[in-house]
Amino acid sequence: MTAYLTAPIAKTRQEQIKEQIALILSTELAYQKDVSRSTGDDTGEILADFWNGDSELNIFLDRGVVLDEKEMPAIVVNCQTAQWEPGSVASKNATGRYMVAVLTRSAATDTADGDALAAVMAQRIGGMCRAILMAQQYKTLGYTPGTVVGGVQIGEMEIMTPRNEENSGGVTAAILSVEVRYIDTEIVGAPVTLERLVSFVGTDGRYKAVRVYSGAPYDPAEDLPEEPEPEEPEEP
């Protein structure tokens, strides 16, 4: 059978939006860290904990909410669901739901418990992430208005119950539920006609992948392994 989708299929729109969210947060939080430090705001010092020894923000895509201790505190951006509405052949209105999780860990001090410090950190940075993504400047997440993203909403920030872990201090998280309305495009082309779909059980007892064919009737024996040629007897 001939392949009809001959052009490379691009990265999905929901993946692109997920990466755009992470890029926006990385850029704005880096600036907020520096400007807060310059004004003496303690938010700058809280944010600084999210940078690792290589001067990189601990922000991850598609990770679980349980990270290695050396990667904490951190921000994780995941795509959770994507839903498409009925639309034209070429495009669909879609809604993507994303999780932005601010994961924090803090050691206890002489004046405060680790769980309380971790909770303050999660709520402060979680609130900053919400403020950034809800800012009017990012109403379309950096895309040209009217082209891709139609709007961003954050309906919930869940604060996990802080807990103290042995040798790790207090641990908690603030999890934002981000909803993005966007336009998704489809692959457009003339419909093709396929004559038949066939599946059959192979010699190993498993169903072979469905084979699409046209023309002459299909003989399953075509896909059976070739019989080995008999070996020539050795000369005495």
The Cα–Cα gap between 179 and 154 comes to: 6
Of the candidate ranges 65-74, 145-154, 206-215, 219-228, the one whose mean pLDDT is the lowest: 206-215
Helix (H) or strand (E) holding 198: strand 196-198
Of the candidate ranges 6-20, 37-51, 219-233, the one whose mean pLDDT is the lowest: 219-233
DSSP string, 2-68: --S--SPPPPPHHHHHHHHHHHHHHHHHHHHHHHHHHHT-THHHHHHTTB-TTS-B-EEES--S---
Of the pLDDT bands very low, low, confident and very high (cuts 50, 70, 90), residue 183 is very high
Q: Tell me the one-letter amino acid at 72.
A: M
Tens-place pLDDT, residues 40-60: 788 888 888 888 765 788 999
Tens-place pLDDT, residues 131-154: 999 999 999 999 999 899 999 999
Write down the pTM of the prediction.
0.77
Percent of the chain whose predicted confidence (pLDDT) is above 70: 77
The Cα–Cα gap between 147 and 145 comes to: 6
pLDDT of residue 3: 78
Question: Where does the chain hold its CATH 3.30.2000 domain(s)?
Answer: 13-185
Of the pLDDT bands very low, low, confident and very high (cuts 50, 70, 90), residue 213 is very low
What is the overall mean pLDDT for the chain? 82
The segment with the largest mean pLDDT, out of 49-63, 115-129, 152-166, 214-228, is: 115-129
Of the candidate ranges 8-17, 126-135, 186-195, the one whose mean pLDDT is the lowest: 186-195
Cβ–Cβ < 8 Å for 182, 149: yes
Of the pLDDT bands very low, low, confident and very high (cuts 50, 70, 90), residue 172 is confident
Mean pLDDT value of segment 55-75: 83
Domain 13-185 listed as CATH 3.30.2000: yes
Structure-model confidence comparison of residues 43 and 230, the more confident one: 43
Tens-place pLDDT, residues 194-206: 655 555 666 666 6
pLDDT of residue 42: 83
Q: Is 109 helix (H, G, I), strand (E, B) or coil?
A: coil
The Cα–Cα gap between 97 and 80 comes to: 6
**Is the backbone of residue 196 left (phi > 0), alpha (psi -120 to 50) or beta?**
beta
